[in-house]
Amino acid sequence: AVREFLKEFDIPGLLFIPQDISDGIDSCCFTWEVDLNLGETSRRIKGISFYEFRDGKVVFVRDIPEPAIKPPPVQALAAAIRPG
């Protein structure tokens, strides 16, 4: 069901690459990468998604991409306040 659902969101110029997909019946998680197709210096965005199913259809989606800023701002702030 996940692969069929993802086919509906094919965006020209973006390459969405599902990686590890769990085999749940009512829900599943999977990791992914997106290639923004911005040239060789462009990095891929990674993330994880949770999908819930009812009657063979996707009814809930939660996507969590990795932070675009490395390290994430809150982590950098915490490290500055309490190093080590």
Which pLDDT tens digit goes with each residue over 15-69? 888 888 888 889 999 999 988 777 776 778 899 999 998 988 889 999 999 887 7
> What are the distances in angstroms from CA 27 to CA 11, 48, 58, 63?
24, 14, 9, 14
In this structure, what token pair is assigned to residue 44?
């891929």
**Helix, strand, coil content of the chain in percent (nearest 5):** 20, 40, 40
For residue 71, what pLDDT band results from cuts at 50, 70 and 90?
Answer: low
Give residue 15's pLDDT: 83
- Cα 71 off chain centre by: 18
